[in-house]
Amino acid sequence: MKVLIIGSLAGDLGQAAQIAIARGARLRQADTVDQALSQLRGDARLDLVLCDLAHDVGAVVRALAAERMAVPVVACGTNADPDAAVRAIQAGAREFLPLPPDPDLIAAILEAASGESHTMIVQDPVMAAAVRRAEQVAKSDASVLIAGESGTGKEILARHIHRRSRRSGGPFVALNCAAIPENLLESELFGHEKGAFSGALARRIGKFEAAEGGTLLLDEISEMDVRLQAKLLRALQEREIDRLGGDTPVKVNVRILATTNRDLPCEARQGRFREDLYFRLNVVSLTVPSLRDRPGDIPMLAAHFARKYADVNGLPHRPLSPHAILRLASHGWRGNVRELENTIHRAVLLADGSEIGVEAIELTGAAARAANPEPGGIASLVGRKMEEVERDLIIETVHRTLGNRTHAATILGISIRALRNKLKDYSAQGLAVPPPAAGAAA
């Protein structure tokens, strides 16, 4: 992924930059907000902005919104001025990165911004057949529609197709149609000219032009508004785009891959997806099987995630015990590979001893309750207030992670800022909150 840093690379921010590079990020740097905006207009492949609190973070967020650039902003600064961090978050920063930097927190921020892992792990015959079909069509320039449930790894397969294609030397640009507000998506795709709308201060290149000579992935394309689908169809048919506010078409040389977790023919029958666009995209169709249908991959995937999160968290590599693997193999995995990844991340953090035992495998859903019956279960929560249940869950998770706020926030699926605010409130109420892990920020 590509990260733009606004601020001097001397001192703590430079250390954060080095950690990001070590985690695989490619960096760009700007000394001023104006320089940063100029780079963002010219490079639609920038995925994340890290902005020093010495600059006006709110002005960066407002400028991005005004120019319809959907790039998350993370504020960076020392804890010496907590009010400045609060103001940055209130102004729209996605997260606050305290300096000196915590490698684990930087890793979590980069992972959240970049989305899925890019590692292709295949052993099960069902998944192997899907990969063979993908490789068979990779060398062509045909559009490919990749279907599958959420969390199965559709983007990973798309990246694999790009790597095996004749366009592998060109860029791979992914756009999540479900994650970007409708009023920003058109500009993200096609770019805009100066004056195209209020706030368009300069020309901005969109994802089509950013992917020139390479591959453009339209992730979860079923979430795109029908009106924008018409403009996309024209771009695919004519191999040219119109920037917003432009009067001259721009020729593009881009291969299109698209993913969906919906039944697009059904969506088309109900008027939510253009049938002609479906046929244009569906030159070749691929289906990524659910994890339930590729059980042979579970042990390999689990071992991969165990190594990955041991490295991320500075822990030793430990194998999964045979009983732990059996527990994983018997689960239903409604969340597919993404759910397995989260489960193994928790297990790496919670495991004791020289291996990851079955006691560290915390599953969710009906299958998990059947495998791990507890007295009372959900019934024990009835009659309790929601805030009480949330409070107990948060405190217990912090306790199990030995006070490590970063790990606890990852397990809970909330930001480190939100977790710290909750714990501060609980302490003010007189509740016993586990102290921070040794050497970690409160």
* Same domain for 80 and 8: yes
Average pLDDT, stretch 235-258?
Answer: 95
pTM above threshold 0.85: no
Answer whether residue 332 is part of any domain: yes
Q: How far apart are CA 275 and CA 268, in angstroms?
A: 5
Answer whether residue 17 is part of any domain: yes
In this predicted structure, what is the pLDDT of residue 415? 77
Answer whether residue 439 is part of any domain: no
In this predicted structure, what is the pLDDT of residue 199? 87
If pLDDT is split at 50, 70 and 90, which confidence band does 427 have?
confident
Cβ-contact 85, 101 below 8 angstroms: no
In this predicted structure, what is the pLDDT of residue 267? 93
Cβ-contact 192, 250 below 8 angstroms: no
* Same domain for 234 and 312: no
* Same domain for 333 and 283: no
Per-residue pLDDT at 250 exceeds 50:
yes
* Same domain for 151 and 99: no
Burial (CB < 10 A; 0-12, 13-18, 19+), residue 402, is middle
Please tell me the total count of domains within the chain: 3
* Same domain for 260 and 333: no
Per-residue pLDDT at 371 exceeds 50:
no
If pLDDT is split at 50, 70 and 90, which confidence band does 261 have?
very high
| Boundary (domain end) residue, out of 70, 92, 114 | 114
Average pLDDT, stretch 344-362?
Answer: 92
* Same domain for 152 and 253: yes
Answer whether residue 442 is part of any domain: no
Q: Which domain holds residue 397?
A: 293-428
Answer whether residue 437 is part of any domain: no
| Boundary (domain end) residue, out of 49, 83, 114 | 114
Query: Which CATH number fits the domain that encloses residue 378?
Result: 1.10.8.60
Query: Which CATH number fits the domain that encloses residue 59?
Result: 3.40.50.2300
* Same domain for 162 and 92: no
Provide the percentage of residues in the chain whose pLDDT is more than 90: 54
* Same domain for 300 and 285: no
Q: What is the pLDDT of residues 177-220, one digit of tens each?
A: 988 888 889 999 999 999 999 888 899 999 999 999 999 999 99
Q: What is the pLDDT of residues 309-319, one digit of tens each?
A: 888 778 899 99
| Boundary (domain end) residue, out of 262, 289, 316 | 289
* Same domain for 39 and 9: yes
Bridging pattern class, strands 26-30 and 46-52: unpaired
* Same domain for 141 and 109: no
* Same domain for 245 and 134: yes
Answer whether residue 138 is part of any domain: yes
If pLDDT is split at 50, 70 and 90, which confidence band does 343 have?
very high
* Same domain for 305 and 178: no
Cβ-contact 340, 327 below 8 angstroms: no
If pLDDT is split at 50, 70 and 90, which confidence band does 373 have?
very low
Query: Which CATH number fits the domain that encloses residue 281?
Result: 3.40.50.300
- Secondary structure (3-state) at 311: helix
**Summary mean pLDDT of the chain:** 87
Cα 44–48–52 angle (5° rounding)? 125
**Three-state secondary structure along 196-231?**
CCCCCCCCECCHHHHCCCCEEEEECHHHCCHHHHHH
Per-residue pLDDT at 112 exceeds 80:
no
Task: Identify the residue with better confidence: 376 or 99.
Answer: 99
